[in-house]
Amino acid sequence: MDARGIIAKLRDGGRPSSEELGWFARGLADGTVSDAQAGAFAMAVLLKGLDEAGRVALTRAMRDSGHVLQWDLNGPVVDKHSTGGIGDCVSLLLAPALAACGAYVPMISGRGLGHTGGTLDKLEAIPGFRTGLSEEQLRRQVGEVRCAIVAASAEIAPADRRLYAVRDVTSTVESVDLITASILSKKLSAGLEALVLDVKCGSGAFMDTLKKAEVLARALVETAQGAGCMTRALITDMSQPLATAAGNALEVIEVMETLTGTSVNAALWDLTAALGGEALALGGLAADAEDGEGRIIEALENGQAAEWFGRMVAAQGGPADFVERWPDRLPSAPVMVEVPCESDGFIAGIDGRGLGEAVVHLGGGRLRDGDRINPSVGLSDLAGLGEGVMRGVPLCMVHAADEAAAERAVKAVQAAYRVGTSAPEEPPLVLKRVG
């Protein structure tokens, strides 16, 4: 068995066996497969595709290329994954809410990618918060605190780490088969019993149409189920930012306001409840998704979710009094500038990608690998779809490191908003359920 034969089979429209895909994944992990061969493999998959059995086999093989966690706990091990969007800080609400309901949540998360924010970057806006836990530390924390949000260790799905880097430089990131194997190999390595997926659709998402989002959602659900994990996907709207803030510390502020009831963001609350309800039902902690949704809402309302969030923050090196003192603990930008609307009317469209890129250029994301992030910068008080506006009224507030960066962001935000003469119909938060 060799890489050339597997690549040739794919190139010619054949279907590699599970043994061949397993061999290739091990070769990615141990270096037997060269970078050139990895790139050729990725391009062949992009152009010719894999069938469902091939996706399952590749996902399993990439998962098994590293450590796969095993658990012995008195409750189900569940998780959630989002395909990324603007102002999507649901994970920070959902993990502790699930923990409060009796689930165990070893959430392996990522950093910002392109115009979308990253859960790890948001949490690292909290002073002292550590996302790089060892496997032993992760096991201990999940056992004691029920939830942890961490970066993937070097032992988790090493085949994916290698293939992902190659995909990035060979223009093969868009392959649904490779996206599916990449996401699930990391998630399933956490030893999950149930997984709920949030597949974003709209101007701020990688999948900008419902058709594309549904293709990805079905691939993810079918593959995860085929790999032995109970899974359901919600296709959710990303035609506007989910939170009214975009930027790491600013999104943590919105999370804390919602967790503590200071100022509840209805969209964050509703989506957390919907995803959490599905996860609890899949994990056997609720009779159905509706029952599970009620349990998540109760955990948010009675303060239990906030309490478990505080335990997680303290366990991962953050302030022990963060839930009580969060306004004093988060960084703030030195320059704050309003973005004036340039005409009268209603917000008729929002370029979510444009807003995300504005945050990246403020320093809230990475223009290239290795860039340092400024956790304090971003956008707050973002106007939403259908909102009535007038010339000079603020569309949002820019938080910047200096005046020049703020001025550039003002122009970018103005370009991202489209004002019309009538209010559009706001799309539902959950567009479709799959699985």
pLDDT in tens, 418-428: 999 998 988 99
- Categorize the per-residue pLDDT at 410 as very low, low, confident or very high, splitting at 50, 70 and 90: very high
Query: Is 182 among the residues known to form the active site?
Result: yes
Task: Tell me which of 167, 232, 295, 311 is the catalytic residue.
Answer: 167
pLDDT above 90 coverage of the chain, percent: 88
Considering 81, 122, 232, 329, which one is annotated as catalytic? 81
- Of 186, 232, 311, 353, the active-site residue reads 186
Active-site residue (options: 59, 180, 182, 189): 182
Q: Sign of the CA dihedral 354, 359, 362, 364?
A: negative
Tokens representing 289 are 């998704």
Q: How far apart are CA 55 and CA 58, in angstroms?
A: 5
Each residue's pLDDT tens digit, 72-129: 999 999 999 999 889 999 999 999 999 999 999 999 998 876 677 789 999 999 999 9
- Any catalytic annotation for residue 80? yes
Name the residue among 63, 249, 59, 291 with its Cα closest to residue 156: 63
pLDDT recorded at residue 368: 73
Mean of all residue pLDDT scores within the chain: 94
- 211 catalytic? Reply is no
Predicted confidence (pLDDT) at residue 5 exceeds the cutoff of 70 = yes
Q: Is the dihedral of CA 171, 177, 181, 184 positive or negative?
A: positive
Q: Which of the residues 55, 122, 162, 187 is marked catalytic?
A: 187
With 90 as the cut, is the pLDDT of residue 171 above it?
A: no
What local confidence, expressed as pLDDT, does residue 1 receive?
Answer: 77
Express each pLDDT in 190-229 by its tens digit.
999 999 999 999 988 888 899 999 999 999 999 999 999 9
Of the residues 119, 153, 203, 376, which is catalytic?
Answer: 119
- Which one from 55, 60, 65, 82 is the annotated catalytic residue? 82
The Cα–Cα gap between 303 and 35 comes to: 50
What is the reported pLDDT for 369? 67
**How much of the chain is helix, strand and coil, in % rounded to 5?**
50, 15, 35
Is 119 an annotated catalytic residue?
yes
In the residue annotation, 187 being an active-site residue is answered as: yes
pLDDT given at position 168: 76
Is 167 a known active-site residue? yes
> Quick one: pLDDT at residue 169?
81
For residue 343, what pLDDT is reported? 95
User: What digits encode the pLDDT tens for the residues 395-405?
Assistant: 999 999 999 99
Catalytic residue, candidates 60, 63, 80, 399: 80
**pLDDT tens sequence across 139-163:** 999 999 999 999 988 889 999 989 9
Q: Which residue has the higher pLDDT, 411 or 203?
A: 411
Using DSSP bridges, classify how beta strands 147-151 and 194-201 pair: parallel, antiparallel or unpaired: unpaired
Amino acid at site 252: V
